[in-house]
Amino acid sequence: SLNPVMVDATGMCGACRVSVEGKTRFACVEGPHFDGHQVDFDELIQRNNTYGRDEKTSLLFSIRAK
């Protein structure tokens, strides 16, 4: 079971996009349950880490603003 980032829950934004058996799937619409042996976890981890630095910066900014 994948816990996707969901912006619109319709698959239109693509935030929950994941490759399963070499095909693009949208976890908010077609999931969240997929065969774990078929999920491209390397790609998924890379996508999930894309905004990691920005998220940390935002968190530090909000903490300092208090």
The tens digit of pLDDT for each residue in 25-57 reads: 998 899 889 999 999 999 999 988 888 888 899
Specify the DSSP class assigned to residue 5.
-
Find the mean pLDDT for residues 57-65: 91
To the nearest whole percent, how much of the chain has pLDDT over 70?
A: 97
**pLDDT, mean over the chain:** 88
Cα 45 to chain centroid distance, Å, stands at 8
Domain boundaries, the chain: 17-65
Instruction: Collect all residues with Cβ–Cβ distance below 8 Å to 18 and sequence separation of at least 6.
Output: 2, 4, 24, 25, 26, 27, 31, 34, 39, 40, 43, 44, 47
